[in-house]
Amino acid sequence: MSSTIRVGVLGAAGEAAHGHIQAFMKDPRSTVVALWDTNVEGLEQRAKEFGIDGVAHSLEAFLARPDLDAVVIATPDHLHADHAEAALRAGKHVLCEKPTSTSRADAVRLVAAVRESGRVFLGGHVYHFRPDYQRMRDAYRRGDIGKAWLAEGDYVANLADMYGADGRTPWRSAADKPQDIMIGGGCHPFGLMRWMLGQEVVEVTAFSNHQAEPRLPLDDCYVAVLRYADGTIGRLTAAAGSRGKVPDGGYVKLRGTEGSLWNSQLFRDDNPYHSPHPIRDFGYETRFIGPRITKTIQMHYWAEQAEHFLDCVEGKAEPMTTVVDSARVIAGLTACVDSARTGLPVRVDNEF
Ligand SMILES: NC(=O)c1ccc[n+]([C@@H]2O[C@H](COP(=O)([O-])OP(=O)(O)OC[C@H]3O[C@@H](n4cnc5c(N)ncnc54)[C@H](O)[C@@H]3O)[C@@H](O)[C@H]2O)c1
């Protein structure tokens, strides 16, 4: 058997796939041997761009390849659970883009598929690989701000050029199975806050409206209040209709009994300056630790995530975001959507 880990990419013509393909081709432990996408023209272009021979002609042919060790799922959100389950049941390790499913029922069957297959599964929460967020998490776990009492996270983006039939990613606003911004965007801050705090959200209350994005056939703005198991209160905002070219929100703020972690900076009362002045600035400290791959349509720490996935496949690490972690993110976010629809608080079922 080859010692090189042979990777296939599903949704290979897409924007996220552009980063994943380069990441696994760049790592000396892996290579990309197969691609599949229903957009055949885009698929062939992508294969040509990276010199990959293994263009499949169906999902079945792609998954049946005996030379495939692992599969990256980079298809639209609502297809992740089906595609990841099919790959696991074909005996492949899986790196699945966020959100790993769009319903709690799909999360349940994905957890079962991982357990039954015994394969490695990494939820593709790529923001966890940002070094400033990793340092924020370490600072909280070290006790630098004491015990958190408030956590705030935003995903407020301008997705206008993604939406519509001529948009960059038309599935996001398609009449059938559009991306729900609370799930597809909210998973970033929700996942980061859960990971930093090390706490589960047990109850949510959310409100939403639909005033900024007429092309999205769903509400485009949500605000949710979260109650964590340890009593911390959370506030989560997810919106797709940001306008005015303001910087996109993608922020996490934790307020604690001894200080605050605010946009990758640490604040405490014992700073020697006039307030406010950060004691540590993790964004500045990590300013030279940029993503190793930069020529991608979307800039993320794709290579660093791929490296971790390969460590997991080689048995050198445990997934930073397991299938259960990803499922609990979905449980919380779908509870937020339910609450916004019904106008009622919703308890989160975190049992998987
Ligand atoms: N981690 C991040 O920050 C990040 C960034 C971008 C996208 N994403 C996620 O990655 C996924 C893809 O998003 P994108 O922006 O690359 O979208 P995209 O539209 O650019 O790519 C999706 C690809 O999937 C293909 N596809 C659709 N249905 C298919 C099917 N049944 N079988 C095979 N291929 C199919 C499409 O033709 C397209 O090429 C989404 O789930 C998105 O939420 C994550």
Superfamily of domain 128-292+322-347: Dihydrodipicolinate Reductase; domain 2 (3.30.360.10)
Mean pLDDT value across the chain: 96
The model's pLDDT over 66-105, given as tens digits with 9 standing for 90+, comes to: 999 999 999 999 999 999 999 999 999 999 999 999 999 9
Q: Determine the pLDDT at residue 200.
A: 98
Comparing CA positions, the residue from 59, 94, 100 lying closest to residue 78 is: 100
* First CA to last CA distance, the chain: 35
Q: What's the per-residue H, E or C state across 242-273?
A: CCCCCCCECCEEEEECCEEEECCEEEECCCCC
pLDDT in tens, 97-151: 999 999 999 999 999 999 999 999 999 999 999 999 999 999 999 999 999 999 9
Per-residue pLDDT at 2: 65
Angle CA(73)–CA(75)–CA(77) in degrees, nearest 5? 105
Q: Which of 169, 296, 329 to mutate to test the pocket of ligand 1 (most atoms within 8 A of CB)?
A: 169
Ligand 1: residue of 63, 71, 75 to mutate (most ligand atoms within 8 A of CB) is 75
Query: Which atom of ligand 1 is the closest one to the Cα of 125?
Result: 1
Domain assignments of the chain as residue spans, ordered by start: 5-126, 128-292+322-347
Output the CA 74–ligand 1 centroid distance in Å.
5
Which CATH architecture describes the domain 5-126? 3-Layer(aba) Sandwich (3.40)
Could you tell me which residues come within 8 angstroms of residue 315 by beta carbon, excluding any fewer than 6 positions away?
none
Output the CA 307–ligand 1 centroid distance in Å: 21
For residue 16, the CA-to-ligand 1 centroid distance in Å is 6
* Average pLDDT for 152-181: 97
The pLDDT value given to residue 248:
76
Q: Decide if pLDDT at 274 tops 90.
A: no
Cα 214 to middle of ligand 1, angstroms = 22
